[in-house]
Structure 1
Amino acid sequence: MITGDAAYIKKINRSLIIKEIVKAGMISRADISKVTDLTRATISAQVADLLDEGLIIETQLEHFSVGRKPIMLSLNSKAGYALGIDLDYGQISFTLSDLLGHPATSTIIKINTKDYAEILLILVEQIKKFKAEYTESLYGIVGIVIAIHGLVGKDEVVHFVPRLGWEDIHLKTDLENEIDIDVYLENNANLSSFAERVFFHHETDNLLCATLYSGIGMGMMMKDDFFRGHDGYAGEIGHMIVVPEGRPCNCGNKGCWEKYSSESSVFEYLSEKRQMKNLTYEDIQKWLDEGDQEVHELLEQLLYYLSIGLNNMINIYNPDVLVLDSELLRMYPDALDKIKQNLHSSICHYRELSISSIGKKSCVLGACALAIKHFLSVPMLNLPFEQQDNETVS
Structure 2
Amino acid sequence: MVTGDANYIKKFNRDIILQKIIEHGFISRADLSKITGLNKATISVQVTDLLAEELIYETEQEHTTIGRRPILLSLNPKAGYVLGVDLDYKQIQYTLADLLGNPVMTDMINLETDNYEEIIQLLIQQIKNYQMKCPESRYGLVNIVIGIHGTINKDTNSILFVPKYQWSNKQIKNDLQKDIKIPIVIENNANLSTYAERVFYHYNCDNLITLMISSGIGAGIMIDGKLQRGYHGYAGEFGHMIIAPEGEQCPCGNKGCWELYSSESILIKKIEEDQQRSISYEDIQQLIDDQHQKTLNHFNHFINFLSIGINNIINIFNPDIFVLTSKLLSIYPDSVNEIEEKLQSSVSQYGKIVLSNLDNHSCVMGACAVAIQNFLDVPELILTPPEI
Q: Which secondary structure state, in structure 1, belongs to the residue aligned with residue 239 of structure 2? A: helix
Equivalent position of 1:336 in the other structure: 336
Q: 1:71-220 alignment to 2 at 5 Å? A: 71-134=71-134, 136-155=136-155, 156-220=157-221
Q: Contact between 1:57 and 1:75, CA under 8 Å: does it hold in 2?
A: yes
Which one is further off, 254-263 or 368-377? Answer: 254-263
Unaligned runs of 5+ in 2: none
2: CA distance, partners of 1:267 / 1:204: 33
Contact 2:193 2:362 in 1 (8 A): yes
Report SS of the residue matched to 1:101: coil
Superposed displacement of residue 223, structure 1: 3.6
- Equivalent in the alignment of 1:297: 297
* Superposition pairs of residues 269-284 of structure 1, within 5 angstroms: 269-276=270-277, 278-284=278-284
Q: Deviations over 1:259-311 (max 9, x none)?
A: 222111212223334433x2322222222222221211211122122112111
The CA deviation at 1:372 is: 0.2
Give me the whole-angstrom Cα distance separating, in 1, the residues matched to 2:110 and 2:366.
21
When structure 1 is superposed on structure 2, of 344-353 and 145-154 the one drifting more is: 344-353
Show the counterpart of 2:325: 325
The SS at the match of 2:382 is coil
Would the aligned equivalents of 2:145 and 2:187 in 1 still touch at CA under 8 Å?
Answer: yes
Counting matched residue pairs gives 387
- The aligned counterpart of 1:368 is 368
Matches within 5 A, 1:218-367: 218-276=219-277, 278-367=278-367
Query: Which residue matches 1:65?
Result: 65
Moved more, 222-231 or 212-221: 222-231
Whether the 8 Å CA contact 1:224–1:379 is kept in 2: the answer is no
Match of 1:357, SS?
coil
Post-superposition Cα deviations, 1:346-394, rounded to whole Å, max 9, x if no partner, equal 2322222101111001111111111001001112211111223xxxxxx
Counterpart-to-counterpart distance in 1, 2:15 and 2:225: 15
**Offset of residue 135 of structure 1:** 6.5
Distance 2:201 2:66 in 1: 34
SS across alignment from 2:96: strand
CA distance in 2, matches of 1:244, 1:165: 23
Report the TM-score when normalising by structure 1.
0.94
Q: 1:224, 1:380 within 8 Å by CA — same for their partners in 2?
A: no
In structure 2, the partner of 1:379 is 379
CA-based RMSD: 1.6
Whole-angstrom distance in 1 between the partners of 2:140 and 2:370: 16
* Distance in 1 (alpha carbons) for counterparts of 2:99 and 2:232: 31
Question: Structure 1 regions of 5+ residues with no counterpart?
Answer: 389-394
The separation in 2 between residues aligned to 1:281 and 1:133, in whole angstroms, is 30
Distance (Å, rounded) in 2 between the aligned partners of 1:344 and 1:36: 46
**Residues 156-214 of structure 1, C-alpha deviations (whole Å, 9 max, x = no match):** 21111122222111111122221220000001111111111111112111111001111
Distance 1:186 1:151 in 2: 9
Contact 1:85-1:367 at 8 Å conserved across structures: yes
- Residue range with higher mean Cα deviation, 220-229 or 21-30: 220-229
For 2:244 and 2:335, the matched residues in 1 are separated by 22
- The CA deviation at 1:58 is 0.7
Q: Distance in 2 between matches of 1:222 and 1:370?
A: 18
How far is the alpha carbon of 1:225 from its aligned partner?
3.0
| 1:245 Cα deviation after fit | 2.2
State the secondary structure of the residue aligned to 1:74: strand
Change (3 A) 1:64 1:145: farther
SS state at 2:145 partner: strand
Distance 1:289 1:273 in 2: 17
The answer on whether the counterparts of 2:246 and 2:255 sit within 8 Å (CA) in structure 1 is yes
- Residues of 2 paired with 1:375 and 1:356: CA distance? 26
Distance 1:89 1:302 in 2: 21
Query: Conserved in 2, the CA contact under 8 Å of 1:160 and 1:166?
Result: yes
- SS of residue paired to 2:23: helix
Query: 1:385 is paired with a residue of what secondary structure?
Result: coil
1:139 offset after TM fit, Å? Answer: 0.5
CA displacement at 1:67 relative to structure 2: 4.8
CA distance in 1, matches of 2:232, 2:54: 38
Find the aligned partners of 2:47 and 2:304 in 1 and give their Cα distance.
Answer: 54
Give the Cα separation in 1 of the matches to 2:15 and 2:347.
Answer: 39
In 1: Cα distance, 2:131 partner to 2:174 partner: 18
Equivalent pair of 2:270/2:298 in contact (CA under 8 Å) = no
Superposed CA deviations along residues 309-360 of structure 1, whole A, max 9, x for unmatched, are 1111112111111100011111111111111122232232222210111100
Q: Deviations along 1:11-58, whole A, 9 cap, x unmatched?
A: 221111111111111111111122222222221111111111110001
